[in-house]
């Protein structure tokens, strides 16, 4: 491909109207989480006729043709998502993003980020890079019998959820935070407990069609080795299957306890993603 590459701010609606459709190809290709974000933002743009102030989107295209790369970054957390089908466009967009809208970390398909890093000569800017398995479980493939002993988190659980957030960050070297009042109100935090004390947690994430993501699976140290996370994940997947939903997730390929849980429940690898951290030049 030839022609000048342009980097432009774009609304979610404009992007969907002028994108290279290979960016959001059928699962497990494309970028499930980026597509979810863009479609949610486009929905709110139609209702409100304005951009979401938290998320900023930039697209890359050649001479005004279809967008072949997209970079989305949260102004609040500096968490970003990236994908490209044109290596040169992806490299130009990533180089621009690091200079003008630097992220704390970027989630992308493994190959897409690798090509952009190589073409842009930016590998030296990477400070951490987690390879992650994209895994999925279709209805009817659950390998663990659910016991249905789990529930949605409530306001009374917030102190325990704050502890979960802190411990998860320490163990996985992350720095995410959550508005627990908001997540509880949206009914997306699931917990399992023994004798009134929460033993494990997970969160429902992106939803597209009949596919639902889960994330943040965690067991408190004093309850590890008892199968609490396995049963919580199995129960969640069983509930999703009642509605005909497939469940997907990404897990660091060095997080062996989590991978054992997901494999036991019946998840199988579908592809590779990565979360990349960048340092200053």
Q: What is the SS3 assignment for the chain?
A: CCCCEEEEECCHHHHHHCECHHHHCCCCCCCHHHHHHHHHHHHHHHHHCCCCCCEEEEEEEECCCCEEEEEEEECCCCEEEEEECCHHHHHHHHHHHHHHCCCCEEEEEHHHHHHHHHHHCCHHHEEEEEEEEEEEECCCCCCCCCCCCCEECCHHHHHHHHHHHHHHHHHHCCCCCCCHHHHHHCCCEEEEEECCEEEEEEEEEEEECCEEEEEEEEECHHHCCCCHHHHHHHHHHHHHHHCCCEEEEEEECCCHHHHHHHHHHCCEEEEEEEEEEECCC
Residue 47: its pLDDT value, please? Answer: 81
What domains can you pick out in the chain, each with its CATH number? 5-121 (3.40.630), 151-272 (3.40.630.30)
Q: pLDDT class for 2, splitting at 50, 70, 90?
A: low
Residue 53: its pLDDT value, please? Answer: 75
- Whether the pLDDT of residue 51 is over 60: the answer is no
pLDDT in tens, 158-172: 999 999 999 999 988
- Whether the pLDDT of residue 76 is over 80: the answer is yes
Mean of pLDDT values over 43-47: 86
Residue 1: its pLDDT value, please? Answer: 53
- Whether the pLDDT of residue 210 is over 80: the answer is yes
pLDDT in tens, 115-127: 999 999 999 999 9
- Whether the pLDDT of residue 136 is over 60: the answer is yes
Mean of pLDDT values over 53-77: 93
pLDDT in tens, 167-207: 999 988 888 888 999 999 999 999 999 999 999 999 999 99
């Amino acid at each position: 491909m030839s022609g000048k590459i342009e980097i432009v701010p774009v609304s979610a609606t404009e992007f969907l109207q002028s994108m290279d459709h290979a960016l959001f190809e059928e699962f497990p290709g494309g970028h499930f989480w980026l597509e979810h974000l863009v479609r949610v933002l486009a929905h709110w743009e139609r209702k409100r006729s304005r951009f979401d102030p938290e998320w900023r989107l930039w697209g890359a295209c050649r001479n005004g043709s279809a967008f072949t790369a997209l970079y989305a970054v949260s102004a609040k957390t500096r968490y970003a998502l990236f994908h490209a089908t044109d290596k040169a466009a992806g490299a130009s967009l990533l180089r621009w993003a690091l200079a003008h809208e630097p992220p704390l970390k970027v989630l992308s398909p493994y190959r897409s980020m690798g090509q952009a890093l190589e073409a842009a000569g930016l590998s030296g800017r990477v400070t951490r890079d987690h390879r992650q398995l994209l895994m999925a479980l279709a209805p009817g493939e659950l390998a663990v019998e659910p016991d249905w002993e789990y529930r949605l988190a409530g306001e009374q659980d917030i102190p325990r959820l704050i502890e979960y957030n802190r411990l998860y960050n320490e163990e996985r070297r992350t720095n995410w935070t959550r508005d627990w009042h908001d997540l509880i109100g949206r009914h997306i935090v699931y917990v399992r407990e023994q004798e009134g004390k929460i033993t494990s947690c997970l969160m429902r994430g992106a939803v597209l069609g009949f596919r639902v993501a889960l994330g943040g699976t965690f067991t408190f140290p004093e309850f590890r080795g008892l199968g609490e996370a396995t049963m919580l994940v199995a129960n969640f997947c069983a509930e999703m299957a009642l509605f005909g939903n497939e469940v997907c997730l990404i897990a660091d390929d060095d997080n062996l306890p989590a991978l054992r849980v997901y494999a036991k429940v019946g998840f199988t690898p579908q592809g590779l993603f990565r979360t990349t951290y960048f340092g200053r030049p």
